[in-house]
A = this chain, B = another copy of it.
């Protein structure tokens, strides 16, 4: 799967923040987006570390968007929540395969990965917000 749940939730949260424009507490996010509370918190914290949002503690505090929607690229979010986009990893996981350079399959998978990265790296939050008007409104669990 290219996009994990955590990344998806992050997108929804960012979208909400972008539309709100002001400080939003996790409690509000979690209510509006129907996402489990502690999980949402974890995600917001990560977004904070990633520099996408700023946080304010105390009553009335919450999270606020730091970047413009058009500056938030999908690949950045994926990297933050799932690590680098990678589809052609040699099956001998951790260990590097000696044939990686010459392996035919690896080359082909690399092409796919390259294409995937290209497409994903062009998608930004603004596009998602405009392109998919109902993204994140999937209340049908």
Q: A92-B141, A108-B119, A112-B119 are in contact. Are A134 and B2 (CB under 8 A)?
A: no
A76-101 residues with Cβ-Cβ distance < 8 A to B are: 86-92, 95, 97-99
**How many Å lie between the Cα of A112 and that of B2 in the bound state?**
10
The tally of residues in A whose CB lies under 8 Å from a CB in B reads 44
Copies of this protein chain in the complex: 2
Q: A8-B91, A112-B119 are in contact. Are A97 and B138 (CB under 8 A)?
A: yes
Residues of A within 8 A of B (CB): 1-5, 8, 11, 86-92, 95, 97-99, 102-109, 111-112, 115-116, 119-120, 123, 127-128, 131-135, 137-138, 140-141
Between A and B, 27 residue pairs with Cβ closer than 8 Å are A2-B109, A2-B112, A3-B91, A3-B105, A87-B116, A90-B138, A92-B140, A92-B141, A95-B140, A95-B141, A97-B140, A98-B138, A99-B132, A99-B137, A99-B138, A102-B132, A102-B134, A103-B132, A103-B135, A105-B135, A106-B132, A108-B120, A108-B123, A112-B115, A112-B116, A115-B116, A116-B116
